[in-house]
Chain A
């Protein structure tokens, strides 16, 4: 699970949960894979991101130090875009957990894939 994906995941499907976002991350194992940088890709993703959630998740993974406090505008230099790229798509949580901020319900991440399935009595 890359942080780009984490930024889209919610536990709102749980009965009674208001937003279920952002999910807290418990990291057990991460992997970093160098990925081709495309400033256009980052520019396209920026408006879709919830910046505070991304920042918090990046800090949890220890890759947040280079990130600006607020989402950069289109004119931002490549150094900043590259640090966003790194935190967003190069670092992946391989093993760990996601935790619903409202109910503490845990979702396992294994082999890099979050399992968000809920039991029938939870929805």
Chain B
């Protein structure tokens, strides 16, 4: 649980923040990761009611988010991808440390977005989570010259990955599925919501927080055509 002085501390059926080990070239969990965990914590009852079977995190980094989820959601498979092999390994390690061995069900793969599951998870993902590289960067900055940079450099508006992910999300989500996405104010969350709506996904703001120089949001997207598209 990440504490700030801005908001009153609310006790939820709490999600414990997993410990991670600092590994060079893996994005260390920071305010953004913690805000995402807090958003999931706020929605935890809602998430449990979904009885999710498959949860997928895109760009899991150190694995702090998926491990926190895996600890408090039962009978679900947790899949995580990251383009950085070291991150995929760190995430597996974080999950192993955070969860008892006989319960560990976090599986990681090195892949771009959900490319390694193409055609197999359509309309099957009940819970999709992503803390994307959201920092607006110039084109030259955005050139991936090292693994850590891939974790934060988001292109001109900071939404390069988000733009690629939204159409995938609309394929992946089960009819009641939820997609939790972290956004920065400079990403223009309302633009992202419009784009999502075009793809049949309705966005809802779960939480926002100003952390140092960043104004961060977590949105939850779900199908607006729940009655039409049955998985």
Q: Which A positions have Cβ atoms within 8 angstroms of B?
A: 1-2, 4-5, 7-10, 12-13, 19-21, 33-36, 38, 40-41, 44-45, 48, 50, 89, 111-118, 123
Contact = CB atoms under 8 A, between A and B. Distances in A.
**Which of A1, A21, A117 lies at the interface centre, i.e. has the most chain B CB atoms within 10 A of its CB?**
A117
B125 to A, nearest CB: 10
Contact of A113 (B54, B75, B85, B120): B85
B115 A118 contact: yes
Contacts of B110: 113-117
Given A9-B120, A34-B102, A116 B111 contact: yes
Contacts of B102: 33-36
Contacts of B101: 33
**Which of B92, B109, B115 lies at the interface centre, i.e. has the most chain A CB atoms within 10 A of its CB?**
B109
B116 A9 contact: yes
Interface in B146-167: none
Interface of B: 51, 53-54, 74-77, 79, 83, 85, 88-89, 92, 101-105, 107-112, 115-121, 124
A10 B75 contact: no
Contacts of B109: 1, 5, 9, 113-116
Given A7-B120, A35-B102, A115-B109, 7 more contacts: A5-B107, A5-B109, A9-B109, A10-B119, A12-B119, A20-B118, A118-B112
**Which of A8, A10, A33, A117 lies at the interface centre, i.e. has the most chain B CB atoms within 10 A of its CB?**
A8
A44 to B, nearest CB: 4
A89 B117 CA distance: 18
B111 A117 contact: yes
A36 B89 CA distance: 23
A13 B115 contact: yes
Closest 7 CB pairs of A and B: A116-B116, A12-B118, A13-B115, A115-B110, A116-B111, A41-B75, A5-B107
Nearest to A50: B120
A101 B54 CA distance: 25
B76 to A, nearest CB: 8
17 contacts: A5-B109, A9-B120, A10-B117, A10-B120, A13-B112, A19-B119, A33-B101, A33-B102, A35-B103, A36-B103, A41-B74, A41-B76, A45-B77, A115-B110, A116-B110, A117-B111, A123-B115
A16 B54 CA distance: 28
A9 B108 CA distance: 11
Contact of A13 (B77, B104, B118): B118
Given A4-B77, A35-B103, A41-B75, A13 B53 contact: no
Contacts of A5: 79, 107, 109
B92 A112 contact: yes
A15 B51 CA distance: 35
A123 to B, nearest CB: 8
Given A8-B121, A48-B124, A38 B116 contact: no
Contacts of A48: 53-54, 124
B83 A10 contact: no
A13 B121 CA distance: 13
A57 B38 CA distance: 38
